Amino acid sequence: MRRFAKHILSSVGLDVRRIQNIRQHEALTWQQKQDAMWHPFLSHLDIRTIIDVGANTGQFADLIYRYCPLAQIISFEPLKSCHDSLLQVLQKFPQHRIVQAAVGNEPTTTNMNASQFSPCSSLLPGTDLLGEDYPDAALTEIVEVPVVRIDDVLSGINLEKNILVKFDVQGFEIPAMDGEPEILKRARLVVCEVCFFRRLYDGQPLFHEIYSKLREFGFTYMGNAEQHKRKTDGRIVEADAVFERLEA
């Protein structure tokens, strides 16, 4: 009967599928799209250490696990509200650690603008442009968080070669990099969220400034894995830019 009914509906152009099957298909399609974007940047590298700066609830960790299941991961995330979800993702890795702190160029304690849309939380106040693309991001509360230098935290810790460093710190990229020159000298790959022509946070560096900084450390810009377009005109507002230290 079910097959007959489906045949009748199909004959008039209707496709009937179970909600569960649709969701499974959407999840598979999303993963395939993610793999298509990230595979060219990761498939040739045997990444064994991941330093996830601005880990939030583990979105990047969940993605990168498919490529680096044997890697150790060290995640920096100052917001307590994110830690339960983050830890759940990190438990898939053989070695994992959460550092409950923001990162910068000197150890201190400071105020953070904790956004209702937590991925947009920042040590910097948002500009008026932030709310145009992310309306919930403009709703914030001030929370006090510790700030650490990554080089200080990781001093003395054994980091296996082929290090990947990911930055998602909403405008605080340059101070974060200034706090880990030794790690960046050893890193093989850097993934950094960048803005191209609009500063979403006060004092946020744009792509060319981050590009220049990483060039000083010997990295080559390889392209963008993911891009986010401006709703009004389709121009690229943000992207996950990938920088690699190429072997001679």
Over the stretch 194-248, which tens digit does the pLDDT of each residue have? Answer: 999 999 999 999 999 999 999 999 999 999 999 988 878 888 989 999 999 997 5
User: What percent of the chain is modeled with pLDDT above 70?
Assistant: 88
Q: What is the CATH number of domain 44-105+146-244?
A: 3.40.50.150
How far, rounded to the nearest angstrom, does the alpha carbon of residue 182 sit from its chain's CA centroid? Answer: 21
Query: What is the rounded CA–CA span in Å between residue 124 and residue 4?
Result: 60
Q: Which amino acid is at 133?
A: D
Q: What is the pTM of this model?
A: 0.86
Residue 6, both tokens: 């489906």
Residue 148 pLDDT? 98
Residue 10 pLDDT? 64
Residues whose CB falls within 8 Å of the CB of residue 198, separated by 6 or more in sequence, listed in order = 129, 230, 237
- Give tens-digit pLDDT for 8-42: 656 666 566 665 555 655 555 767 888 888 999 99
Q: Is residue 175 pLDDT above 90, yes or no?
A: yes
- Give tens-digit pLDDT for 84-114: 999 999 999 999 999 999 999 999 999 999 9
Cross-strand partners of 141: 114
Q: Is residue 2 pLDDT above 90, yes or no?
A: no
- Listed residue (79, 82, 30) closest to 58, CA to CA: 82
Query: What is the rounded CA–CA span in Å between residue 132 and residue 114?
Result: 18
Residue 4 pLDDT? 60
Q: Which amino acid is at 179?
A: G
| Side-by-side strand order, sheet with 102-103 | 102-103, 140-148, 108-115
Residue 233 pLDDT? 87
**In the chain, what are the domain boundaries?**
44-105+146-244
- Listed residue (144, 91, 92) closest to 113, CA to CA: 144
Strands 108-115 and 140-148 turn out to be: antiparallel
Instruction: Over range 46-65, report the average pLDDT.
Output: 96
